[in-house]
Amino acid sequence: MQQLVNFFQSAGKIDAALSLEIANNFKEKVLAKNDLFLREGQVSNEYLVLTEGLMRAYAIDTNGDEKTTEFYVAVQPVFEVASFFGRVPSQENFQAITDCRGWVINFEKLNMLFHALPAFREMGRGILVKGFASLKMRMLSQITTTADKRYEALLQANPVLFQHVPLKYIASYLGITDTSLSRIRKELLDRERK
């Protein structure tokens, strides 16, 4: 639980006592590799702070193929924002890539805390703004940046992904084919050897 307390302190600049009070409203959650945290068609009712492991979100495209939309690493919140706050069925699946552990709180209890604790509400707002900005930057990079540069940026930002995540998920996230990803990786290795 200490990781959860530390997360609140760093994400919202909330003092230790209040962080512990908030953390006591969360319950531990364990997911085995490949378990689904959220399935398409369900309404997201749990907000997870991932403390160990790797997860991904993915949607099924019109051809029936999985398209990875996001990766989650420890210590990071994991939830489907449109479904969670809009109370509508999710269009995405959230899956454990490795064995995972974290802390969850349900929608009703989270909202109760948001209304009762202004500092926690501000922290939540900050997390949403940061998430929106990250999504916007990723969307723009899909338009304005080459696949090679997107790959290099992901490698620098999250090297742990490349140790545990199947390359097909990474290719899907980058918006490229497995073959293109293999070519990019080979070219990068060739450049490093020179």
- Distances from the Cα of 106 to the Cα of 15, 45, 85, 160, 170, angstroms: 23, 5, 11, 29, 30
DSSP 165: S
The pLDDT tens digits for 154-173 are 988 888 898 889 989 999 99
The pLDDT tens digits for 53-63 are 999 999 999 99
Note the Cα 19 to chain centre separation in Å: 22
Decide: 77 and 23 in contact? Cβ < 8 Å: no
Q: Could you give the 3-state DSSP secondary structure of residue 117?
A: coil
Q: Could you give the 3-state DSSP secondary structure of residue 34?
A: coil
Closest listed residue to residue 44, CA positions, set 108, 130, 131? 108
C-alpha 101/C-alpha 72 separation (Å) is 12
Higher pLDDT, 194 or 181: 181
Containing 152, the helix (H) or strand (E) segment is helix 147-157
DSSP 41: T
Q: Could you give the 3-state DSSP secondary structure of residue 40?
A: coil
Q: Could you give the 3-state DSSP secondary structure of residue 150?
A: helix
pTM: 0.87
- Hey, what CATH topology would domain 2-144 get? Jelly Rolls (2.60.120)
Confidence bin at 91 (pLDDT 50/70/90)? very high
